[in-house]
């Protein structure tokens, strides 16, 4: 996106976040911070909070929306409370297991969610740490794996079906859902870390071949999630279309979706006739920055 910003006529200072972030930004005094970070501190509102303290406008969602989206547990509770469909789940901290005997509740959880159960870290953006537990014997090692990435984990009912992503961008203050992308891994049995980032490992279908009513429903749900979490600028909502029931379930929302060559939002924008440079320009515009001619 640095290239795109430069083509659009902006002076771009690429900043890799590190210990000197605040000093560098204080010295540079940018008009706008284009946030393109991945991982915990980039997506969970930490950087956004620093930018707001420094009075630097930034692209994308604000602090609270990032916090709500980055924490899958928070997001799912909010969705459940708002009657937005999301797979049944239980969430625990490591403390619950170490100090409160939560392991003794696992049989009940397994019975309620039914196998296979997806065990995932609460705050991890890619598929790292996500394990499938097919039997009770799988659950402990799956939890150990998930706790490698976060102190809080989710156990979630597995929804077998189609993996859909609805990207949303703000257009003059109104969120717009872009054409839906369906991710079909070529080799792995689900959309894992390698498939996410390797060109050629996943087949993307955009717009997804969906019944019109289903597509409309998916977009409507995604926009509901976008509003519920307080997102702004752009975001992506991942859903599963359950094979047996045609029901849609929200897996998670990404307040800072990727903008790499294999990322879903640029693909969706492309399908809507919005080229990459234009996409970047709209994101910048949505942040309220003045575009240099």
Partner 1 sequence: MSPHSRRPRSTARDIERYGALFAERTKVMKSSAMRDLMALTEREDVISLAGGLPDTSTFPADSYASLMGAVAAESCSRALQYGPTEGLGQVKRCIAEVMRAEGMEADEDEMLVTTGGQQVIDLVCKTLVDPGDVVVCEAPTYPGAVPTFSTYQADVVQITMDRDGMRTDELEATLDELERSGRRPKFIYTVPNFHNPAGVTLSLERRHELVRIASERELLVLEDNPYGLLRYEGTPLPTLRSLDQDFIVYAGTFSKILSPGVRLGWACAPAPVLAKMNLGKQAADLCSSSISQYFVSAYFQSTRPPSWEDYVRSVNEIYRRRRDVMLDALAEHFPREAEWTHPQGGLFIWATLPAYIDTTDLLARALEDHVAFVPGRAAFVDGRGGSDMRLNFSGVGEDDIREGIRRIGEVVREQVELYGTLTGAAPRSAPRREAVPAAPAAPAAPAAPAAPSEPAAPPARTAHDPANVLPLRRKRA
Binding mask 4-33 for partner 1 (x = CB under 8 A): x-xx--------------------------
By CB under 8 A, the count of residues binding partner 1 is: 49
Q: How far is the CB of 213 from partner 1 (least distance, A)?
A: 25
| DSSP 8-state class, residue 154 | E
CB nearer to partner 1: give 62 or 258: 258
Pairing of strands 89-93, 152-157: antiparallel
CA distance 10 to 17: 20
Of 1-9, 49-57, 66-74, 162-170, which segment contacts partner 1 by CB under 8 A? Answer: 1-9
End-to-end Cα separation, the chain, in angstroms:
17
CA distance 273 to 100: 53
**CA dist 73 → 28, 95, 166 (Å):** 37, 16, 20
CB nearer to partner 1: give 26 or 95: 95
**Residue 41, interface with partner 1 (CB under 8 A)?**
no
The DSSP line for 45-81 is SHHHHHHHHHT--BSS--HHHHHHHH-HHHHHHHHHH
Q: Which residues contact 29 (CB under 8 A, 6 or more apart)?
A: 56
CA distance 167 to 26: 33
Of 28-36, 80-88, 144-152, 239-247, which segment contacts partner 1 by CB under 8 A? Answer: 144-152
Subset of 206-265 contacting partner 1 (CB under 8 A): 206, 261-262
**Residue 127, interface with partner 1 (CB under 8 A)?**
no
Residue 93: which of 141, 150, 148 has the closest Cα?
150
Q: Give the dihedral sign, CA 120/123/128/129.
A: negative
CA distance 271 to 266: 9
**Residue 144, interface with partner 1 (CB under 8 A)?**
yes
Q: Figure out which of the listed residues 21, 93, 204, 230 binds partner 1, where binding follows CB under 8 A.
A: 204
CB nearer to partner 1: give 1 or 283: 1
CB nearer to partner 1: give 62 or 266: 266
Q: How far is the CB of 293 from partner 1 (least distance, A)?
A: 14
Q: How far is the CB of 267 from partner 1 (least distance, A)?
A: 4
**Residue 138, interface with partner 1 (CB under 8 A)?**
yes
Binding site for partner 1 (CB under 8 A): 1, 3-4, 6-7, 94, 97-98, 103-108, 111, 128-129, 134-141, 143-149, 193-194, 197-200, 204, 206, 261-262, 266-267, 270-271, 275-277
């Amino acid at each position: 996106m640095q290239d795109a910003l430069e083509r659009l006529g902006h002076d771009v200072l690429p900043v890799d976040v590190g210990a000197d972030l605040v000093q560098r930004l204080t010295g540079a005094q940018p008009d706008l911070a284009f946030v393109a970070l991945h991982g915990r501190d980039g997506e969970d509102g930490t950087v956004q909070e620093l930018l707001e303290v420094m009075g630097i406008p930034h692209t994308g969602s604000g602090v609270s929306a990032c916090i709500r989206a980055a924490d899958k547990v928070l997001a799912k509770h909010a969705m459940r409370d708002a009657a937005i469909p999301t797979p049944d789940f239980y969430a625990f901290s490591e403390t619950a297991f170490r100090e409160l005997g939560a392991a003794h509740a696992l049989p009940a959880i397994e019975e309620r969610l039914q196998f296979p159960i997806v065990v995932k870290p609460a705050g991890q953006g890619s598929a790292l740490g996500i394990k499938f537990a097919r039997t009770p014997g799988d659950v402990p090692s799956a939890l150990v794996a998930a706790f490698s990435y976060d102190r809080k984990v989710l156990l979630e009912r597995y929804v077998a079906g189609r993996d859909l992503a609805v990207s949303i961008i703000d257009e003059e203050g109104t969120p717009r859902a872009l054409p839906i992308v369906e991710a079909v891994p070529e080799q792995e049995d689900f959309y894992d870390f390698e498939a996410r980032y390797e060109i050629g490992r996943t087949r993307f279908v955009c717009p997804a071949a969906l019944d019109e009513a289903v597509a409309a429903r998916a977009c409507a749900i995604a926009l509901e999630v976008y509003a519920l979490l307080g997102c702004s600028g752009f975001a992506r909502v991942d859903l599963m279309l359950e094979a047996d029931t045609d029901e849609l379930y929200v897996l998670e929302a990404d307040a800072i979706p990727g903008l790499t060559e294999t990322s879903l939002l640029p693909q969706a924008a492309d399908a809507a006739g919005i080229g990459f440079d234009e996409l970047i320009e709209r994101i910048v515009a949505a942040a309220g920055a003045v575009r240099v001619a």
